[in-house]
Structure 1
Amino acid sequence: MVTIEEPGSGWGSLTPELVRKVASKLHANECAASLKLISSQTAAALRDFHTITLGQPRDNSKPIPEEPWPGPAFVAHWGRPEPWRALTLPQRERLLCLAASSGHVPSLEAALVHSGCCLKPQVLTSAAAAGNLAGCERLLAEGCSFSPDAITAAAATAHLPTLQLLLEAAGNELRPPALAAAAKTACCHGYLPVLTWLQQAYGYCYAATWNAEAAASAGQVALLEHMLGAVAQYAEEELVGEGEGGEDEGADQGEREPRWQLLVAVARGCPLAVLQQHYGRLWAWRGMYGRAGAPAEAAATPCDAAAGAATTAATTAADSAACSGPLVPREFAGEDDARDELLVKLLTAVASSPTPCWRAKLDWLLDSCWGAAVAEQVANGDRGGLWGIWESAAERPDFLERLQRLQAAGVPVDDSAVEAAAGNGRADALTYLREECGLEMDVGEVFTRDPGVMLSCSSDVRMLELLRERGAVFTAAHVRRAAERQWPAGSLVWLAEAAVDGGKEGLASVEREQQDWSAAFARAARSGEGLPLLRALRARGAVVDLGAVAAGGGEDAMEWALAELLAGEEAEHKPGDGGGGGGSAQQTPKHIIDSGADLARAAFTHGNVATLRWLAAHLRPWGMERAVPLVGQQGMDAAAAAAAAAPQQQRPSAAGCPGWLPPLEGLCASVRPRTFHQLQLWGQLRTQPQFRPLDALESSARVAAAAAGGDSAAKVEEGGGIWAEVMQQLNKVARDADGPPVLEWLLLPHQAQWVERQM
C-alpha cells in the first residue's frame, strides 16, 4: 500500500478539517478500514473512526450485514482462532450468519473454519435473505441444514436464481409447502413477477385467499387489486344473492368468512381509500338487507362500495328491530356472533394499524360504517366482547395517542391498558393512565406477590426504573423470570444489580433466593449471554452451572467458569485441612471431570463445536480415577493415561460410540433436513482427530498406535466406515417407515450427497 507522509500537493496537503469532511461523505467502515491507512497524518485526523460495524443492531429478525461489507478487514481479524474465543455460541452463530450473507467468499470461508458452530438452518437462511447465490451454493455443498425459511427469505429478496436453487434443493417432499410459503412472502412484498414465475416454473396457483390476506396486511394495494379479480371467493357474483334471511344466512357462513378475513387484513394494512373502496363488497352477505318478498335489486343497492356502507350505517341494530317495511337494513339486527366478532376484529385492526391514516380509518369505521349506537356497543364490549385491543395497540410506538382516541370513542380504560403499557415499555402511556385516568397497578404489591409479572413486563431499562420509583421491589425471583424470558443482557445486568436481598416478609428464603440466582445463571449461560451478565449473577450468589456454560458459551466463558469452580474448591479447603495442593500443577477436581459426559452432551445438543474442542483439550467426558491436568502442563499424555484407567462401566458400546453421544439408530430415526447438522457433528466427533480425546473407547493400545504414527491411515478407513454405516442406517429407517420408503423425509439430496462424499 502506498503511504503519503509528506505534505505538499495532493492528499497530504489537506488539513485535518478537510480530511474529516471527506470522511463524512464515506461510510464509517471505509474510513476505519481503508482511509485511515493512507498515512499517519490521516490516521491522526480520523482517530474517532476506530470501530468497524459488521451488522445492524440485533433484534428478533435475521442478521443484516453492513453495507459496504468490510471484507478484507473481516478476514484479517476473524480469519484466525484467537478472536473467536471470547464469543459465546449465539455471538459466533450470528457472526457466521453475517459472513454468509455478506456476499464476500473469503469472509464466509474464514467463518466456516474458525466459528466453532454447526451449520444450522439459520446460516443458509441468512445467505438466502441477502440473495447471495454463491454463498448458498457453498453452504449446500457443505450439507447445511435446511429450513423452508431459506426459501421464504429468498422470495423476500425477489432474487430468482437463489430462489430456484433453494426450491430445487428442497426436494420433492419439502417443495410443495415451500412453494406456498414463498408465494405468501412474495405477496407480503408485492412481488407479482415472483408469483408469475412460481406459476410458470412449478405450476403453483397463487390465487388463494391467504395470499390475498398477506398482500392486504402488508399494504400491497396493487397486488391486492389483482387478487380480488383472481380469487374465486371474492368474485362479484358471490357477494350478494337473493337472500330470504333466516336459513339462507346460515348457508352463507362459509362463503362470507374468506371475505371477512380479507376485510380485516385491508383494515389493518391498507390506506383509508382502499378500505372505503372494498368495504361494501367484502362486508355484505346474502340476506343481510331484505325481508321476505324484498326485491333483489333493492337489497343489493346499499352494497355500492363506500356509499352503500355509509347508507347502511344510518340504521342501527336497535332501529332495525323497531322498523317495519319492505326493505330494512339488517346487517346489525338480530343475533349473529360471527358478525359481532368481526366488528371487534375490525376495531382492533384499525386501532393497531401501522398506516399513517389509522386515525381517519378509526373515525370512518365508527361514524360512517357503524353509526353511534353500534360503535358504542362494540367499544364497550356489549357487542362481540371486546378483548385484546390494548395489547395490539400498545405494539405501536404512538400507543398514548391511540389509547386517548379509543378512550374518547368509548373503549373502557382498565387494568389491561396498564399492563399493555408496562409490557411494551410505553412509559408516557403509563404516566397518562396514572395521572389522568387514576389507573395504576399496585406496583409494590404486584411485583412482590407474583414474580411472574415479569413475563409481561417490558425489558426497557427506563420502564424498569419507573416501576422501581413507583414501589416495585425486584428480587432474585424476578431476575429468574426475566432470564427465562431471555431479556437483553443489559436489562438483566441492571435487574441483577437492582434486586434486593431476601429477608423482607413475603420474599423467598435465603435458600430459595440462591436457587433463583442459580436458575437465572443457568438460563442466561445456556442462552449464550456474555461474561458481564454471568459475573453479575455470580456476584449475587449464583452457583456456576458448567453444563449451561458448555451449552451456550465459548472458550473464555468455559475457562472463567472452571476457574470459579476451582476457586470455590480452594475456599472450601483451607491450608492445614489436608485439602490444599502441594503440587505445582493446578488439578481439575474429580467430580468436575466425572460430569464431563454431561458437559459434552450439552455442547453436542446445542451444536457448540468450540466447547467440544475445549473439552477435548481440558476434560475427559467420562469418569476417571484421577484428575487430568489442564492443557499446557502434561496435556494429552495424561489424558491418554487416564483413558486407560477409566472405569469399565463408563466405556462406550462395542460400536465405538461414547456413552454421552446418542446412539446412531435413534439419531438417524429423528434426523430431519433442519437438524442434519446434529448428524454431521455426530460423525465428525467419531472421525476427526481433534475430537479423539473425547472418545471413551480409546484404549492404551490405540493410544500407543497413534503415538507410533499409525493413527492416520486407520483414521481414514474408520471415517469412511462410519459414514457408510450412517447411510446404511438412514436407508433402513426410510424402509421401515410407514408407507413407501422416502429418504427425503430424513435428509435432502444435497445432504445425502455430502454423506456420500465422506465415505
Structure 2
Amino acid sequence: MEQHDARRLRLLCLAASSGDGPSLDAALAHCGCSATSEVLISAAAAGRRAACERLLAEGCVVGADAACAAAEAGHLSLCSLLWSQRSRNCRFDEEVDADADIVRVAEAACFGGHAHVLEWLEDEAGLYDEAGRWGNEHRRQEIDEGLAAAAARGGHLLLMRRQLAKLAAPRHAGRTWGRLLCDVAVGCPLPVFRELAEKWRQLEPPQPGEATAAAGAREDGIALLLHALGSRTPYWQEKVELVLARRPDGPAALATITGDQKAPWLVDFTPFMWASAQPDFEQRLRYLVSENGTGAAAAGAAAVAAAGAGDVGALRFLLDECGVRLSVSCICDAAAGRHAVLEFLRGRGQLPSCSGRNGRTLDPSAAPVRVLAAAAMIPSRPTGPVNLASGLWSRVFERVAREGADFAALRYLHERLGAAVRLRPVAAAGSEEQLEWALGVAAGGAGAAAAQGPAPAAQPLLLAALEGGNLAAASHLHARGLAPVLPAADQVLGLFQNRPLDFMPGAFDAVRWLVEQRRAGAGSAAAVAGAAAVGGAAGEAAAGLADAEWKGLLGEVGLDGRLRGRFSENQVPPNANAVATADTFMLPYTIKREVADMRKKRKRAAAAAAAACAEKSGHTAEAEARAAHERKHERERERVEGVIAVRRLVVAYVEQRFREHVEWEEEMKENAHDGDGAALFYSSDDDYDDAFVGAIANPFF
C-alpha cells in the first residue's frame, strides 16, 4: 500500500546502503525517481564511501543530514567529505545562527559516542568559529550544553562528562540542569541518573513561596517523570520509581497539565514522545496509568502518542481498559502513515463516515486504507456523516494521488465516490499504469488506455512529473508521444525555484533527464512532429541544447556547488561552432586564444588527412565525390568536437571561478568584523545578489 515513488526510493536507499556498486548502478538507471538526500543519508549511515561518491557524481541533493548520519555512525572521512560537499546557503545573515548545521553534526557525533569526530569538528571544521567571531560566550555555552545532552541521550558517559566539564556555571542553573537531567534519564544508567539528580538537586519537591517558581518546578518534575518513562535503558521503571519517591505529586501534576490544552509546553511537544518510541510502550503505560493513577487526561494524551507511533497494543489497552474516548487527534495521527492503527479502528467500527454534497458517502468498512487516511485528515465528528463542501472527494483524490496511493484507492474515489480524476498529481507521483488509466478517464474512455498520438493537454503533465521527481512517468509520457515536445531548459529550472533542498526532488535529476532525452530523441518522429507543431525554435532545441540553454544549466549547477562537467557533452545544435560558443560565454582572452590555436590544429590535421585521402584515391570523378563527402563529414565532426571542447573549457573555468568565489566569501566573513563584533564593510545581500550570482550564472564578466 505504499506510494510508488516511495517504493522506488526505498529500493534506491537499499542499494546505496548495501555498498554493492552494480546494484546501485542498476537502481540509478532504472528506479525512475529523483535521488533525494535520503539516498545519500542511507549510504552515509552505512559508511559506504564509494556509494556516496557515486551519488555525489549523480548530483544527489547534499544536506547537513548526510553529514549527521556519517557522524553518528563514526565515519570521520565520510563525514568530512559530505560536510565539504553540502549544499550551502552562502548568505551571511546575522539574524540566523550560521553555525546551526555544524552544531547538528556535532550533536549527532555525540549521540553516537564518537569523540574523534567531535574533535575533528572542533579543530578542523570550525565548530566554535561563529561564536568566537562574535565574542559570544553564551552561544559557546549553548553549544556545549547541547553536546552534553546529546551524549547523555546516547548513553556515552565519558563524552558526556567531558562536555559537562566545559560548562561554566549557568545563569539559570535550575532550568539548565533540569533539561540536562531529562537527557540523562533517557540514555544513562540508573546510578548516573541518581548521582546527577542529587548533585544538581533536581528531585527536590517544590518549596513554598513564589507561585511561578512552584509552577516551574512542577513542570520540571513532570518532564523528568516522562523522560524516565521513555528511557532507552532497561532501568526505566527504577528511574520512574526514583522520581515518584522524591516527587509524589508527579502523577497528579501530569493529570492536571495534560488536561490543560493551553499548557505552553504541550504545543510543540508530545508528552509521551520518548516512551512511545520504545517497543514496550504498552507495558510502560500499564505501569504509569494503572498503578500510579495519572488520570484520564494523561491516558488521552498517551492514546494520541500510541496512534502516532502505530502501537496497536498500547491503543487497545487505553481504549478497552482505561476507557479512553477516541479523539479526532488519534485518528489524524494514525492517518499520517500508521495504517495498522486505521485497520484496527476500522475493525472496531470506530472510524467516522463523511459525505460530500454529491450524495456519495464514504463507507469506512469497505474503503481502501489510503482513502481512510486521507479522509481522516478532514475535520469530522466521531459519529455520523458529515456534510462538507462540494468537491470534497475530488480534493481527497488529489491528496491521495500526490501521496502516490495504490490503484485501488484512486479507482474507489472515482468510481464509488464520484471524485474527478486530477491528472497532474497522478503524473507527479503515480505509476505508468495509473497515468494511462487517468488519461483514459480524462479522455472519456472510462478507464481505457489513452489514445495513441500527440495529446497537447499532456504537455503540462510532463512538467508535473519532472517537478515531482517522477522520471518514470516523464519518460513514459514522452516515449508514448503524449508529450512529444521536450520543455526548454529554463522551464525545467523554473520548476525548482525557491524549493527546499533536503528531501525534495532537485533540479539536477530533471535537468539530466532533459539532456539525456535530447541526446536520445534527436530526429525521432515524435520530436520532429512536435517541433513542427510549435515552430523552428523547438525544432532546434530537439536536436540539442543551444548555447543559451546550456549556459543557463551551467549557471544552475554552478550556483548549487555541484558542477561536475556532465553537461559538456550533450548534442550540439547544427548552427553552433567553437568560435561562436567562445563568444557566447565571453571567455577571457587567454582561453579564446587557446580555442583559436585548437581550431587551427584541427584544421591542419583535417587538411592533411583530406590530402592523403585524395592522393591515395586518384583524381577520378567518383573518387573526388567520395573525397568531398568525407571532407564534409570530417568538417561536421570537427565542428561538433570543437564546440564540445570549448564547453569543457567553460566548465573548467566556472569550477575555478566558483572555488575562488567561495574562498573569497569565506575571507570576507573572516575580515567582516572587528574585535568588538561590529561590521566593518561586509554586506551579505549586496555581495551575494550581485557579485556572486554574476560570477557563477554569468561567470565571465
Q: Fold match, TM over 0.5?
A: yes
Q: Corresponding residue for 2:115?
A: 192
Superposed counterparts of 1:557-572, under 5 Å = 557-566=434-443, 568=445
Distance 1:173 1:657, change over 3 A: closer
What corresponds to 1:409 in structure 2? 292
Q: How does 1:600-679 map to 2 (within 5 A)?
A: 600-618=462-480, 620=482, 661=491, 677-678=506-507
Residue 629 of structure 1: aligned partner:
none
Map 1:358-507 to 2 at 5 A. 358-367=236-245, 369-370=246-247, 372=248, 374-375=249-250, 378-381=253-256, 389=271, 393-407=275-289, 408-414=291-297, 415-422=300-307, 424-433=309-318, 436-437=321-322, 439-441=323-325, 454-457=331-334, 463-464=341-342, 467-468=345-346, 470-475=348-353, 491-492=369-370, 506-507=384-385
User: SS at the partner of 2:686?
Assistant: coil
Deviation at 1:393, TM superposition (A): 4.1
CA contact (8 A) 1:672 1:746 kept: no
User: What is residue 4 of structure 1 aligned with on the other side?
Assistant: none
Corresponding letter in the other structure for 1:110: A
Q: After the TM superposition, which of the residue ranges 408-417 and 353-362 deviates more from structure 2?
A: 408-417
CA drift at 1:703: 7.6
CA displacement at 1:728 relative to structure 2: 9.3
CA distance in 1, matches of 2:375, 2:256: 43
Shift, 1:468, TM fit: 4.4
* Counterpart for residue 350 of structure 1: 228
Secondary structure of the corresponding residue to residue 197 of structure 1: helix
**CA shift in 2, pair 1:167/1:684, >3 Å:** same
Deviation (angstroms), 1:682: 4.1
Alpha-carbon offset, residue 129 of structure 1: 2.0
Partner of 2:427: 550
Helix, strand or coil at the partner of 1:208 = helix
Does the C-alpha gap of structure 1 residues 588 and 705 become closer, same or farther in structure 2, counting only changes over 3 Å? closer
Instruction: Check 1:376–1:717 CA distance in 2 against 1; reply closer, same or farther (3 A cut).
Output: closer
Distance 2:447 2:39 in 1: 43
Alignment of 1:106-121 (within 5 A): 106-121=22-37
The amino acid of 1:677's aligned partner reads: G
Q: Following the alignment from structure 2 to structure 1, what is the Cα–Cα distance between the partners of residues 461 and 543?
A: 30
Q: Distance in 1 between matches of 2:507 and 2:50?
A: 24
Matched, 1:142 2:24: no
2:451 alignment counterpart: 587
SS at match of 2:476: helix
For 2:103, the equivalent position in structure 1 comes to 180
Letter in 1 for 2:531: E
CA deviations over 1:423-444 (Å, ceiling 9, x no partner): 555555555555554x242x6x
C-alpha distance in 2, partners of 1:410/1:557?
A: 52
Residue correspondence of structure 1 range 144-223 to structure 2 within 5 A: 144-170=60-86, 176-204=99-127, 208-223=144-159
What is the CA distance between 1:456 and its match in structure 2?
A: 3.1
| Structure 2 CA distance for aligned equivalents of residues 194 and 676 of structure 1 | 30
Give yes or no for contact 1:379–1:410 (8 Å, CA) kept in 2.
no
Distance 1:215 1:534, change over 3 A: same
1:633-654 per-position Cα deviation (integer Å, ceiling 9, x unaligned): xxxxxx68xx9xxxxxxxx9xx
Structure 2 letter corresponding to 1:232: L
CA contact (8 A) 2:508 2:557 kept: no
Residue correspondences, number: 532
Q: CA, structure 1 residues 145+609, in 2 after alignment: closer, same or farther (shift >3 Å)?
A: same
Q: Which residue of 2 aligns with 1:741?
A: 688
Give runs of aligned pairs for residues 19-418 of structure 1, distance below 5 A: 88-170=4-86, 176-204=99-127, 208-229=144-165, 231-233=166-168, 238=169, 252=171, 254-283=172-201, 317=207, 335-367=213-245, 369-370=246-247, 372=248, 374-375=249-250, 378-381=253-256, 389=271, 393-407=275-289, 408-414=291-297, 415-418=300-303
Q: Which amino acid aligns with 1:403?
A: L
Distance 2:555 2:311 in 1: 58
SS in 1 for 2:295: coil
Q: CA deviation at 1:102?
A: 2.2
Judged with a 3 Å threshold, the aligned counterparts in structure 2 of structure 1 residues 378 and 724 are, in CA distance, closer, same or farther, namely closer
Quote the offset at 1:212 in angstroms. 0.7
Q: Is the Cα–Cα contact under 8 Å of residues 155 and 163 in structure 1 kept in the other structure?
A: yes
Q: Which residue number in structure 1 is paired with residue 396 of structure 2?
A: 520
How far the C-alpha of 1:677 sits from its partner, in A, is 3.0
RMSD: 5.0
Measure the CA separation in 2 of the matches of 1:746 and 1:673.
22
Partner-residue secondary structure (3-state), 1:116: coil
| CA spacing shift, 1:336–1:198, aligned 2, 3 Å | same
* Partner deviation per Cα, 1:126-166 (whole Å, 9 max, x = no partner): 22222111122222223332111111111122122211211
The alpha-carbon distance between structure 1 residues 110 and 537, as it changes in their structure 2 partners (threshold 3 A), is: same
Instruction: Give secondary structure in 2 for the equivalent of 1:202.
Output: coil
- TM-score norm. by structure 2 comes to 0.62
Conserved in 2, the CA contact under 8 Å of 1:668 and 1:679? no
1:685 maps to which residue? 514
Question: Would the alpha carbon gap of residues 96 and 700 (structure 1) be closer, same or farther in structure 2, given more than 3 Å must change?
Answer: same
Q: Deviations over 1:639-689 (max 9, x none)?
A: 68xx9xxxxxxxx9xxx568xx3675x966768698783155247537742
SS for the counterpart of 1:378 is helix
Name the CA distance, whole Å, in 2 between partners of 1:334 and 1:125.
44
On the 8 A contact 1:133/1:162 being kept in 2, the answer is: yes
Rate the CA distance shift 1:420–1:128 in 2: closer, same or farther, 3 A.
closer
What is the letter of the counterpart of residue 678 of structure 1? A
In structure 2, do the counterparts of structure 1 residues 170 and 453 end up closer, same or farther at CA, with 3 Å as the change threshold? closer
Q: CA deviation at 1:604?
A: 2.2
Asked if 1 retains the 8 angstrom alpha-carbon contact of 2:489 and 2:549, the reply is no
Cα distance in 1 between the residues matched to 2:157 and 2:163: 10
> 2:296 aligns to what SS in structure 1?
coil
* Superposition deviation, residue 411 in structure 1: 1.7
Q: Any conservation in 1 of the 2:493–2:511 contact (CA below 8 Å)?
A: no
Shift of the alpha carbon at 1:412? 1.6
| CA-CA distance at 1:263 after TM superposition | 1.1
8 Å Cα contact 1:127/1:135 also seen in 2? yes
Distance change >3 Å, CA 746–CA 159, structure 1 → 2? farther
Gaps in structure 2 of 5+ consecutive residues: 91-97, 129-139, 357-366, 561-653, 666-682
Distance in 2 (alpha carbons) for counterparts of 1:539 and 1:739: 56
1:214 Cα offset (Å): 1.0
Residue in structure 1 matched with residue 618 of structure 2 by the alignment = none
Letter of the 2:80 partner, please give it: Q
Paired residues of 1:521 and 1:545 also in contact (CA < 8 A): yes
Change (3 A) 1:729 1:225: closer
SS at match of 1:210: helix
Tell me if the contact between 2:228 and 2:236 (Cα under 8 Å) persists in the aligned partners: yes
User: Alpha-carbon deviation of 1:421?
Assistant: 4.7
8 Å Cα contact 1:269/1:354 also seen in 2: yes
Give the 3 Å change call, closer, same or farther, for CA 99–334 of structure 1 in structure 2: closer
Q: Deviations over 1:290-311 (max 9, x none)?
A: xxxxxxxxxxxxxxxxxxx6xx
1:212–1:716 distance in 2 versus 1, CA, 3 Å: same
Contact between 1:497 and 1:536, CA under 8 Å: does it hold in 2?
Answer: no
Q: For the residues of structure 2 that align with 1:426 and 1:141, how far apart are their CA atoms?
A: 41
Once residues 711 and 383 of structure 1 are traced to their aligned partners in structure 2, the CA distance between those partners, rounded to angstroms, is 62
Contact 2:303 2:330 in 1 (8 A): no
